Structure 1
Amino acid sequence: MHKEGFIDVTGGRVWYQIFDENGGGTPVIILHGGPGSSSYSLQGLKALAKERPVILYDQLGCGKSDRPTDTSLWSIERFVEELAQVRQALKLDEVHILGHSWGTTLAAAYCLTKPSGVKSVIFSSPCLSAPLWEKDQKRNLKKLPLDVQETIKHCEENGTTDSEEFEAAIDVFSKHFVNRMEKQPEWLEQRPSWYRNSEIYNIIWGPSEFTVLGNLKEFDCTSQLKEITCQTLYTCGRFDEATPETTQFYTSLTPHAKFHVFEKSAHMPYIEEPEEFIAVIGDFLQSIDSTILS
C-alpha cells in the first residue's frame, strides 16, 4: 500500500507518504536531512515496509510541502512541534524514529521533550552538537588538496559561497565526505528543482558546512544524551562528515546504545550501501519489535 497526502502543521501543510506491505511491525517515521532538504533521496527506505509501515514526510518549506515566506518558522523548536503534529495526525501512538544528518538533530530535540510511545531512535550520520560538527568539518577539510582548502576559506571570508569557484571546491569535499560513489544513481542525478530550500539551510545553519552562523550555532545536546532511554542505534559511514569518532562519542553518552559503521560509505550509506543499510536498520527494528511482542 502507498498512501500520500498533506497534514496541517504550524505555518502550513506538510506532504507525507506511507508505505505499508502489511508487515505488522511498529511504524518507523523518517526525518530527512538539511536543514531544508527533502525526503526525495530517502525513498529507498520504503524497503523497510515489508515488516512495518514506513512514513516519509517533507518538513515545512521543503520538497513538496508548503513554502511559507514567514522566516520566523525556521527554528528547531517549530520543527519539533511539527513532528509531534505529524505523529498526532497519523495516529502514530507507538513509533520508531530514524533521523538522518539534520534529521538526527531534530530527532534528539524531539526525544528530549519526553514524548510517549517512542520505541527506538536511530541516529544516522548524526549532528548532535553544532560546535563539534564545525570542528570535524575543519578537520576533514585539512585532508583535501591545499588549493581546495584555500578556495573554501577564501570564499567564506569574502562572502562568495554562492560562486562557481566555491561550488567546485564543495564538489571535491562532497566526493570525499558526502557520497563517494563513482557514478551516482540516475534518479539522484535527476533530482527535481524542489529538492532543496537553501533559505532554510542559511537561516538555521549558515552559508556552508564549515562555519555555523545560523540559529543552530549554539545547539549541543551531548550533556542530555543520557536522558534518551529508549533503544538507540547510531550509524555513520567510515568516511562520513559525521565522523566515526564523534558518532562513537555520542554512543558512549547514551544508555545501552548500539553503534555501526558502514565501511564503504561517506554521509549517504542508504545510497552508497543500500542493501547493507536496510539490513542493519531492519535487524535493529525487528529485534525491538520481537522483544516487545515476547
Structure 2
Amino acid sequence: MNKIVFSALAALALLAFQANVHAHQDPEQAGYIAVDGGRIWYRINGLKHVGKTPAIIMMHGGPGGTHRGNMPYVALSDTYPVILYDQLGSGNSERPGDQKNWNVKRFVDEIDHIRQALDLDEVIIAGHSWGGSLSAEYASRNPQGLKAAILSSPLISTQQWNKDNQEWVDELPKEAQATLKKNNFAGSLEDPEFRAAVELFYSRHMCRTDPCNTTSYRDDGPSGNDEMYETMWGVTDFNGYGTLKDYDITDQLKDINVPSLVICGEFDEARPRTCRRYADMIKDATTVIVPDAGHATMSANESMYMEAVRTFLDKTLK
C-alpha cells in the first residue's frame, strides 16, 4: 500500500488512486467560492455545456480529503459540466481551523453555495464515501433542479459501516485480528505491528491492486486534512468513533425522489449487500457492483466504473 497506509486520510478520503488521461487535465475555470466559514476552491470542465445539460457536482471523501481522487469524472465533461472542489479545511480551500465548521450540515450547504455562485439551475449530485454521505443528504432534501444522485461507496450509517467492516476483519488471519482488537482498532500507524495489520486490511478492502496506484496524486498537489479526518472519523477506515460515530441517515433515503445510482466494489468497506439494501430504500435506484474492487472502486476498474456512471446518466436524462 506504500504511502496509502501511512496516512489516515488515504483510506476513506481516497486522495487519489488511479493514473489516467484526466489525472492532470487542467480546469477550464477555477477559483474560490464563499461558503459559511471561509472560501472553497473549485474547478470546472465542460463549460460549453453549462445551461444545456445538468452540471455534475462531485464530492470527495474524508472528511478531510481532496478533489484529486475524483479526477476520472472529468471524462464526463464531454457531455456535462463537471465541477470538482475541495471542502472547506482541505486541499486548495481555505483552512480556518475552526472545528465548529466540521459538521454535516455546513458541508452539505456548500453545495448550494456552489450552485448559486456558478448559476447552476440543474445539477447531478455525486459523491464517493464521505462524499456519498453528502450526496445522500443533499438528495434527500429534493432541492429544485436536482436531476439525479450518485452514491459511490457511501457512508450512510456509521454503526452499520463498523459492523460490516468488523465482519471483514473477522476474515483476516488470526494474528492480524488480534493486533487490531488489542488496539481497539484505534492504534497508531507509527506502530509497525498495527500498521501492518491495517495495511493487510486495506490490501483486501481498500485498494486491491499491488502496488496500489497512487501516481495520479502529485506531490505538489493539494493535501488533505488529517486532523479533520481523525476528529470526525478516526485513525482507520474500518472503525468510525469520532464525531460521526452516531451518524445515520438511513431513514432519509426514502425521501430521495430522483433517479439514483448506488455503486460500490465487490469487497468494498461499503459492503455490497448493505449498498443493495440502501438502494432498495430509494424509490428509483440502480445498483452496480464493481467486480474484485475494494473501496477504491475507480482505481480497481476505472473504465467499468465510469461506463456505469455514464450509462446511468444517459438513461436517466434521455
TM-score, normalising length: structure 1: 0.92
Which stretch has the larger CA shift, 61-70 or 187-196?
A: 187-196
Q: 1:57 aligns with which of 73, 77, 85?
A: 85
Q: Which residue matches 1:249? A: 277
Q: Partners of 1:21 and 1:94 in 2: how far apart?
A: 14
Tell me the equivalent position of 1:165: 193
Asked if the contact 1:22/1:50 (under 8 Å) is kept, the reply is: no
**1:41: Cα distance to partner?**
1.5
On the 8 A contact 2:57/2:126 being kept in 1, the answer is: yes
Alignment of 1:111-122 (within 5 A): 111-122=139-150
**Secondary structure in structure 2 of the residue aligned to 1:156:** coil
Higher RCO, Cα 8 Å, sep 6+: 2
Greater helix fraction, Structure 1 or Structure 2: 1
Q: 1:157 to 1:109 in 2, by over 3 A?
A: closer
In the alignment, does 2:169 pair up with 1:147?
A: no
State the alpha-carbon separation in 1 of the partners of residues 186 and 150 from structure 2: 38
- The reply to whether residue 5 of structure 1 matches residue 31 of structure 2 is yes
Q: Does the 8 Å CA contact 1:21/1:51 hold for their aligned counterparts?
A: no
Secondary structure in 1 matching 2:215? helix
Identity %: 36
1:18 and 2:65 matched: no
- Match of 2:311, SS state, is helix
Q: Does 1:284 align with 2:282?
A: no
The number of residues matched between the two structures is 290
- Pairwise CA distance, 1:216: 1.5
Cα RMSD for the two superposed structures: 1.9
Matched, 1:48 2:62: no
SS of alignment partner, residue 85 of structure 1: helix
User: In the superposition, relative to structure 1, how do residues 271 and 211 fare at CA in structure 2: closer, same or farther (>3 Å)?
Assistant: closer
Q: 1:36 to 1:147 in 2, by over 3 A?
A: same
Distance 1:150 1:192, change over 3 A: farther
Cα deviation digits, residues 54-85 of structure 1 (max 9, x gap):
10000011111111111111111110112221
> Is 2:54 the partner of 1:38?
no
Does the 8 A contact of 1:80 with 1:109 survive in 2? Answer: yes
Cα drift, residue 100 of structure 1: 0.4
SS in structure 1 of the partner of residue 135 of structure 2: helix
1:78 is aligned with what amino acid? R
Question: Residues of 1 paired with 2:44 and 2:87: CA distance?
Answer: 15
State the one-letter code of the partner of 2:254: K
Instruction: Please tell me the residue identity of whatever aligns with 1:60.
Output: L
TM-superposed deviation, 1:190? 5.0
For normalisation by structure 2, the TM-score amounts to 0.86
Q: SS at the partner of 1:43? A: helix
Matched residue type, 1:228: I
What is the rounded CA distance, in whole Å, between the counterparts of 1:122 and 1:177 in structure 2?
21
The aligned residue for residue 300 of structure 2 is 272
Question: Given the alignment, which residue of 249, 269, 280 partners 1:221?
Answer: 249
The 3-state SS of whatever aligns with 1:284 is: helix
| Structure 2 portions without partners, runs of 5+ | 1-26
User: Hey, what does 1:197 align to over in structure 2?
Assistant: 225
2-structure distance, mates of 1:33, 1:116 = 25
